[in-house]
Amino acid sequence: MLRAAGADFEFQEYEVSADQYMRTGQPIPADVWPELAKADSILFGAVGDPRVNDAAYLAGVLLRLRFELDLYVNLRPAKLYDDRLSPLRREDRRKIDLLIVRENTEGLYVGMGGRFKRGTEEEVAIQEDLNTYLGVTRILDYAFGVAQREVVMVDKSNAMTHAGALWQQQWKAVAKKHQHIKTRHLYVDAAAMQLVRDPTQFEVIATGNLFGDILSDLTAELIGGMGVAPSGNINPETKRGLFEPVHGTAPDIAGRGIVNPIGAILSASMMVRHLGHTEMASAIEGAVESALRAGECTRDLGGTLSTQEVGDAVTKRLRD
Q: Which residues are catalytic?
A: 109, 156, 189, 213, 217
Contacts with 53 (C-beta within 8 Å, 6 or more apart), sequence order: none
Kindly state the smallest distance separating residue 58's Cβ from Mg ion, in Å. 11
The answer to whether the CB of 181 falls within 8 A of the CB of 150 is: yes
Listed residue (269, 232, 267, 230) closest to 246, CA to CA: 230
CB of 286 to ligand IPM, least distance (A): 26
Nearer to ligand IPM, 175 or 246 (CB): 246
Residue nearest to Mg ion (CB): 213
Q: Of 84-92, 143-151, 206-214, 249-257, which part binds Mg ion (CB under 5 A)? A: 206-214
To ligand IPM, the closest distance from the beta carbon of 74 in angstroms equals 8
Interface with ligand IPM by CB under 6 A: which residues?
58, 62, 213, 246
Q: Which is nearer to ligand IPM, 58 or 192 (CB)?
A: 58
Residue 213, interface with Mg ion (CB under 5 A)? yes
* Site stretch for Mg ion (CB under 5 A), options 90-98, 104-112, 211-219, 262-270: 211-219
Mark the segment that binds Mg ion (CB under 5 A) among 112-120, 192-200, 210-218, 284-292: 210-218
> At its nearest, how many Å lie between ligand IPM and the CB of residue 246?
6
Query: 213 or 285: whose CB is closer to Mg ion?
Result: 213
Instruction: Give 213 or 296: the residue with its C-beta nearer to Mg ion.
Output: 213
Q: Which residues bind Mg ion (CB under 5 A)?
A: 213
